[in-house]
Amino acid sequence: MLTRLSLKRGQFSWVDLRGDLFGGVTAAIVALPLALAVGALTHVGAAAGLYGAIFTGIFASLFGGTATQITGPTLTTMAVVMTTFAAGGWAQLALATLFAGALQIAFGLMRLGRFITFIPQPVVAGFTNGMAVYIFAQQIPTFSGAPVIGLAVMAIMWIWPRINRVIPGSLVALVITTAAAYLLGWTSESYLAWDAAKIIGEIPRGFPAFHWPTFAWSDLQPAFTAGVTIALIASMESLLSALIIDDMTGGRHRLDQELVGQGIGNLVAPFFHGIVGNGAIVRSVVNTRAGGRTRVSGIIHGVMILIITLALGPLAEQVPMATLAGILMMTAIGMVDWQSIKDLKRHHYADGAVMVVTAVLTFATPLTLAIGVGVLLSAFLFTMRMSQSHVSAVEVEPGIHVVTIDGPLFFGDAVMLQERADECQGNVVADLSRMVVVDATGAVALRKLIHRVCSQGNHFYVAGIGEGPKATLDALGVLKNVTLCPDLPTAIAQARPTPVA
């Protein structure tokens, strides 16, 4: 009996099919309301959100590097989608999505996946919190158009998990408020003190049609800028999601292959009028917990959304926009990294400042600027911390100074090394036994110290240097005029002046 089915990227056991089926269907149910909401409230169209979930979900699963990753439109890229569409319409957004997909593939082929995950935690937390506030604030005008419906959605999503954790609260809220608004006539005539509640409106019938994106030359520059932003944000969340799935399953995803898969999904989606997608943490976790085991679960998720779109499109047209706004507002509240806020008092004040600055910039400025400033601040703080108390100079005997470098010697320590060098007279011993690494700037500073000592007719000794730093300093010609010693006592003994007979 055939028990295993050969897939393009490995072997699939029929035993896994049941788990993949449950996981994929459950993830589709969770993804459906959010895909509708992101598409409709970015003004691209509810159908574009659904098509984005279908095509990015299927193709990212086929070619990605994380077995149970679920891909689709998310809140993190929603702001860029909204601003790009508002500025240049579908042509500019489609081109930006194509640029983003191509860049993600390039990131993967150049093996840059691990570097994207190096973004410091305070920057990630600040970006997440700032984006949550931004998304919440963006929905207030739509919410206020039919606040009774929006409040009902938020109440249901808050209460429902206390009743049932299997069926998503967002889906329950969508069904209940849509049905109530339709039956009470709120979507066709004024109710209470408000006008008739706006609804999604027409959703195209049938299978998504192929469209060749058209654009003007003037779209290239703004689309590329938006594409870079989308690629960075989408890649960051996708890889963070993959790491979380690894922790849950004990597996190990392929960072670079995941970026390639995400890029292929975003290259395909615009040809079917789908918006950009990325690996979604909540949906991926739901898929994994529901039994998803292989990439087939992600394909099932995409196919399930396609079936729902084809079968229930006319019903989806009646969904009030305020329902979608309420779903996004509650999702944004859940997106906040509350633990990072609680930990502000425990953090070093500088880390807290990085998080707050990143959050404020995320809310008020272009997203690439927010992330860039956050990373630069973190790098600056790292440099300052690494430069503290790494270099010391002590006169151990008359005419002998010992310069100790404890830890890495890099550009942040160059000034301190120069200051310590000014204190040294006579023969100098450099204790490098605890110098783990040296960069070019640190090597130049050490070379200047050696030159100053030797030009005064004194001798320079190096004690206990490791093979790695020694190879770097040898390659830069720093150790030409020094005496190498195996340890500090030997170096001090050799540095003592020879007694006059």
CA distances from 22 to 175, 192, 294 (A): 21, 42, 12
Tally of domains within the chain: 2
Specify burial of residue 375 (Cβ count, 10 A radius: 0-12, 13-18, 19+). middle
Higher pLDDT among residues 375 and 171, named by residue: 171
Whether the full predicted model's pTM is greater than 0.85, yes or no, is no
Q: Which helix (H) or strand (E) holds 35?
A: helix 14-41
Give the residue carrying structure tokens 């997106």: 335
Is the pLDDT reported for residue 8 higher than 80? no
Q: For 75, phi and psi rounded to 5 degrees?
A: -70, -30
Q: Choose among 36, 99, 83: nearest CA to 263.
A: 99
Highest mean pLDDT among 46-55, 106-115, 426-435: 46-55
Q: Do 448 and 352 have their domain in common?
A: no
Task: Return the CA Rg of the chain.
Answer: 30
**What's the CA gap between 420 and 442, in Å, rounded?**
14
What pLDDT score does 194 carry? 79
Residue 16 in any domain: the answer is: yes
Q: Which residue has the higher pLDDT, 13 or 425?
A: 425
Give me the CATH number covering residue 425: 3.30.750.24
> Residue 373 domain-assigned?
no
Residue 92 sits in the same domain as residue 209: yes
Q: Are residues 448 and 314 in the same domain?
A: no
Same domain? 73 vs 144: yes
Task: Let me know whether 338 and 398 are in one domain.
Answer: no
249 confidence band (pLDDT: 50, 70, 90): confident
Three-state secondary structure of 209-236: CCCCCCCCHHHHHHHHHHHHHHHHHHHH
Summarize the confidence of residues 462-473 as an average pLDDT: 91
Q: Is 384 a domain residue?
A: no
Q: Which residue has the tokens 């490791």?
A: 466
Region 320-332: what's the mean pLDDT? 93
**Region for 35 from its dihedrals, namely left if φ exceeds 0, alpha if ψ lies in -120 to 50, beta otherwise:** alpha
Whether residue 382 is predicted with pLDDT greater than 90 in this model: the reply is no
Burial class (CB in 10 A: 0-12, 13-18, 19+), 243: middle
Distance CA 210, CA 85 (A): 20
Check whether residue 352 and residue 397 sit in a common domain. Answer: no
Of 48 and 339, the structure prediction assigns the larger pLDDT to 48
Find the mean pLDDT for residues 120-143. Answer: 89
Residues 272 and 397 in one domain: no
Q: Within a domain: residue 162? A: yes
- Average pLDDT score over residue span 285-289: 89
Residues 369 and 229: beta-carbon distance below 8 Å = no
- Give just the sign of the alpha carbon dihedral 49, 260, 241, 225: negative
pLDDT band at 348; cut points 50, 70, 90 = low
Confidence (pLDDT) at 64:
94
Domain that holds residue 219: 8-363
> How far, in whole angstroms, is CA 132 from its chain's centroid?
14
The pLDDT score that the predictor gives to residue 28 is 94
371 part of a folded domain: no
The predicted model gives 29-54 an average pLDDT of: 94
Domain match, 441 and 320 both: no
Same domain, 211 and 252: yes
DSSP structure string for 288-353: HHTT--STHHHHHHHHHHHHHHHHHHHHHTT-BHHHHHHHHHHHHHHHS-HHHHHGGGTS-HHHHH
pLDDT of residue 386: 62
**Separation of alpha carbons 61 and 57, rounded Å:** 6
Q: Are residues 70 and 164 in the same domain?
A: yes
Pairing of strands 427-431, 400-405: parallel
Q: What mean pLDDT, rounded, does the chain reach? A: 87
Q: Is 500 a domain residue?
A: no
What's the pLDDT at 278? 96
- Does the structure show a pLDDT above 50 at 501? no
Higher pLDDT, 21 or 121: 21
With contact defined as beta carbons under 8 Å apart, do 70 and 287 qualify?
A: yes
Sheet holding 460-463, edge to edge: 391-397, 400-405, 427-431, 460-463, 483-485
Q: What whole-number distance in Å separates Cα of residue 122 and Cα of residue 303?
A: 37
**490 inside domain:** yes
Band (pLDDT 50/70/90 cuts) for residue 74 is very high
Alpha carbons 55 and 296: distance in angstroms, whole number: 14
Q: In this structure, are 235 and 303 located in the same domain?
A: yes
Q: What band does 385 get if pLDDT is binned at 50, 70 and 90? A: low
Asked if 278 and 134 sit in the same domain, the reply is yes
Quote the CA–CA distance of 94 and 106 in Å, as a whole number. 18
Residue 414 pLDDT = 66
How far is CA 82 from each of CA 98, 101, 337, 386, 432, rounded to the nearest angstrom? 16, 18, 23, 41, 55
Please state the rounded mean pLDDT for residues 354-366: 87
Q: 437 phi and psi, to 5 degrees? A: -160, 155
Maximum mean pLDDT: which of 138-147, 206-215, 362-371: 138-147
The domain boundary, picked from 343, 363, 383, lies at 363
Please determine, for residue 193, whether its predicted confidence score (pLDDT) is greater than 90. Answer: no
- Per-residue confidence (pLDDT) for residue 131, from 0 to 100: 87
Paired tokens of 54: 């279908």
Q: Is 135 exposed, middle or buried (0-12, 13-18, 19+ CB in 10 A)?
A: buried
Q: What percent of the chain has pLDDT over 90?
A: 49
Q: What is the DSSP string of 424-493?
A: --SEEEEE-TT---B-HHHHHHHHHHHHHHHHTT--EEEES--HHHHHHHHHTTTTTT-EEESSHHHHHH
- How far is it, in rounded angstroms, from Cα 358 to Cα 374? 5
- Interatomic CA distance for residues 227 and 213, integer angstroms: 15
Residue 442 · residue 410 · CB < 8 Å: yes
Q: What are phi and psi of 186, to 5 degrees?
A: -70, -20
Q: Torsions phi, psi of 484, nearest 5?
A: -90, 135
Residue 62 lies in a domain: yes
Q: Which residues of 335-365 are buried (b: 16+ CB within 10 A; e: fewer)?
A: bbbeebeeeeeebeebbbbbbbbbbbbbbee
Where do runs of H (alpha helix) occur along 165-219?
169-183
* Residue-level pLDDT at 426: 87
Nearest of 168, 166, 170 to residue 323 by alpha carbon: 170
